[in-house]
Amino acid sequence: MDPVQILWAPAGASMPNLGARALVDVTDGDTPNLRMPVRMLSVDTPEVTARSAERAAAIDQDFKQLASWMDEGRAPIGDALAEHLKPRLETGHAGTLHLAQGQAASEFGKANIAARLTRENGTRRNLFVRTADTPFDSNHRLLAYLAPDYSAAERRTMTREQRSTFNLDLVRAGWAAPFVIHPSIPGAADLALLIGAAVEARAARRGIWESAETLLAYEYRSMERLFQITRSLVAGRELTGGPRAWRERYCADMRTRELFGPEDYFRVEPEYRLWLRPDDLRGAIRDLNLVPSASLTLPPG
């Protein structure tokens, strides 16, 4: 072998370990078909990461303690957001409620997908998969919209609502909050369907919207991080990511294009929140003509 002068360090990423069933089949020599996880775009269902009633009960107490630390001014969170979240944290059952909602959302998702992929004659449809601008998330899951793969003839007889994605079904049933993240924004018609379904589900108090004590999934995850950070601060331990590492995304109101900081997202109703990562912020301000709110200080860069 002769030495080469072309040297490169590829910016790759290892995909999640999918276990023994990762390889489904091989179409030809260079086209294996893999089984892989998909993160459904533009929706966020409650988490089931607690996994057990015992762990959920422990989170109940963690969040209740976090509410107390907020009252004492020991948690690194602004007063306005703390007041917004505390009523749900201090109930003593925030984790238990979230796990129950996550399990219900999972059951709905499984049953809905199974039903909609089954034809009237009992045969099974293929799956339609559409990705967006960013194909993978930070956990290397495929980001996509999923739906039954209807034929062209079937689509001609169906409305958009009838051939909805499974993503939209979750929102319509109230088991997911909209979670639109720039730049993976649905097209205008699909975005209108998503927002309309969310408005209707919240007004009808379906699914997660039934309880006023619901922590939305992205709030739940951020409160888990905030609890860990605050516990370290209270114990006097050194932090690796800084006291504000529990929140990072900015939020814009899709109705007014007003841009808010990470702790002011609650000023926008859930259906109209557009989330932006810090690295995408300046480009999004330019491309979407966003108007920073009066209190917003943009990060340097």
Rg (CA), the chain: 22
Give the separation between CA 82 and CA 69, rounded to whole angstroms. Answer: 10
Cis peptide upstream of residue 32 (ω within 30 degrees of 0): no
- pTM of the predicted structure, to 2 decimals: 0.91
Record the tokens describing residue 106, joined without a space.
Answer: 């999972």
Is residue 167 predicted with pLDDT exceeding 80?
yes
- Computed over every residue of the chain, the mean pLDDT equals 92
User: pLDDT tens for residues 63-114?
Assistant: 999 999 999 999 999 999 999 999 999 999 999 999 999 999 999 999 999 9
pLDDT of res. 17: 63
Residue 231 clears pLDDT 90, i.e. is over it: yes
Contact 278, 248 (CB under 8 A): yes
Return the minimum-mean-pLDDT range out of 128-132, 135-139, 252-256.
Answer: 135-139
Give the pLDDT of residue 190: 93
Q: Which residues pair with 175 in a beta bridge?
A: none
- The answer to whether residues 50 and 220 touch, using CB atoms and an 8 Å cutoff, is no
Give me the percent of the chain exceeding a pLDDT of 70.
95
Query: Which candidate, 178, 175, 166, places its Cα nearest to that of 265?
Result: 178
Average pLDDT over residues 42-49: 97
Residue 26's pLDDT band (boundaries 50, 70, 90)? Answer: confident
Q: Could you tell me the end-to-end alpha-carbon distance of the chain, in angstroms, rounded to an integer?
A: 46
Q: Are 295 and 261 in contact (CB under 8 A)?
A: yes
Contact by Cβ (8 Å): 50, 98: yes
